[in-house]
Amino acid sequence: MSAGPAFSLAGQQLAIGLATSVATLAGGGLALKLGAERRLMVGFGCGAILGVAFVDLLPEAFALGREAWPPTALGAAVVTGFFAYVLIDRLSAAWGRAGRSWAAHLGPASLTAHSLMDGLAIGVAFAVSPPAGVVVAAGVVAHDLVDGANTVTLSFARHLGARSARRWLAADALAPLAGLALSHAVSPTRATAALMLATFAGLFLYIGATELWPRARSGELGVSGAAAAGLGAAAVFLAVRLSGT
């Protein structure tokens, strides 16, 4: 008799995990099909990534860590994430062509790691209570459309090509499912999760501000690129507001 509710709960988590994967693939698929208009996705991705950092990750980090960490500690984690990306980027340039080729994958890899944490968050929330899990999952699904598009955008921005973009999109789509599975074995404390989210915020700030924004405001894109950035930030803000997270 007890297996029924447990199976039902596992089925809910699996369905939500699949929904996050479908949303990611849909967003990335749209970015892949845009063709010549893909350049505008650079602007959209810039705004979306900065929006995720400012509207999603940072507020969540400070909410989770307010009892364990002073604000300066979480701020230090943001700075650490930012300059860790700077250091890796500069070292890869010093290593020549092989290093630059490796560093080109760092942006999509960061997004994929963030998606893994999203899946972990869903699983942990479900362990607390199924309604809490549904609320967290709604937020993840809402912005996974943007995450998929961002994964493809970053891949092309770093000149990785369509094949690599598809591979990273597939990895990003599978990451929430992996995070859900991982949540049954690992459950990070609120303090640890806060530091991780703050560090990711720093990574995303670097990606948005130094890799994508210069392209979005270039003469080639002009006002349309800046408008697309605003639209990307608005999309993330709307997703966070609608999810209630």
CB distance 49 to 148 below 8 Å: no
Mean pLDDT of the 68-97 span: 82
- The total number of structural domains in the chain stands at 1
Task: Using a cut of 0.85, tell me whether the model's pTM lies above it.
Answer: no
Split at pLDDT 50, 70, 90, the class of 79 is very high
Give me the domain span that covers residue 116: 3-243
pLDDT, tens digit, 9 for 90 and up, residues 125-151: 777 667 667 767 776 776 677 788 888
Q: Report which of 245, 148, 149, 133 is spatially closest to residue 197, judged by C-alpha positions.
A: 245
Mean pLDDT of the 205-217 span: 79
Say whether pLDDT at 2 is over 50.
no
> Rounded to an integer, what distance in angstroms lies between the CA atom of residue 176 and that of residue 215?
29
Mean pLDDT of the 212-237 span: 76
Angle at 236 between CA 205 and CA 116, to 5 degrees: 70
pLDDT of residue 130: 74
pLDDT, tens digit, 9 for 90 and up, residues 181-201: 888 887 778 888 889 889 888
